[in-house]
Structure 1
Amino acid sequence: MSFRFRKSVKIAPGIRVNFSKSGVSTSIGKRGATVNLSKRGTRITAGLPGTGLSASKLYPSKKQTQSYAPKSYSKAEWITSFVIGVIACLFFAFKTTGGAQFLSIVALIVLLIAICATAVSSKKSTPLNL
């Protein structure tokens, strides 16, 4: 079950501000011809009052017509974030453990770096090519 919310407030003769769950819009016009301005775009509606017959056309805003491709990160950005992560792990490991445990954690991190470097340099698309 879905809930709907819509409230229309008359500002002046022929001008209304509409509030709904999806946002705010403004309607200009009288019965029979209305222009509605919203975040989706401009909707023009014309009808014959009392008959129930009307026609409506939406002109989408430019913001909606643009499609954005997901951003792909460059290899340099991946390497930078990886290095920052390794430094953070080393700092945390040094602060929380003693000397011998710290060296074993460093050895594990070096092994992880070697595995990741092999996976990045390989031409296959799988994360780990073991």
Structure 2
Amino acid sequence: MALRFRKSIKIAPGVRINLSKSGVSTSLGVKGATVNLSKRGTRVTTGIPGTGISTSKLYRAKPNQSAPRGPRQYSTTEWVTAWIIGEILAIVGWLKLEGGVGIFCLVVALLIPVSLFLYYRPKRSDW
């Protein structure tokens, strides 16, 4: 008989820390759309709440046998998904939380698109 252990701790609306025998992971999202970050990779799960219909995709880091060549290049779909989830979480936090935490969520909601723009803008090689 196998022994299983799993504990999920809610940190903020839409943010959970998951503890299990195999390690720690973080889940971000709302009903119908969740992103889970763990040592195995990033799992994106979407579904229709209340129907039992869902889909899940695991994005694993490919092992690199050659010399390191820099940071991984994310697809447009991956960073747009991350941006949308980040914005939803930040705006929900701003609307639902009070005081300094709500203001912090508002600042995060404003910084997410700026930071993504700065990171993904075309790099100029003629400088």
Q: What TM-score do you get using the length of structure 2 for normalisation?
A: 0.49
Relative contact order: is structure 1 or structure 2 higher (C-alpha 8 Å, sep ≥ 6)?
Answer: 2
The alignment's TM-score, normalised by the length of structure 1, stands at 0.48
Structure whose alpha-carbon radius of gyration is higher: 1
Structure with bigger helix share is: 1
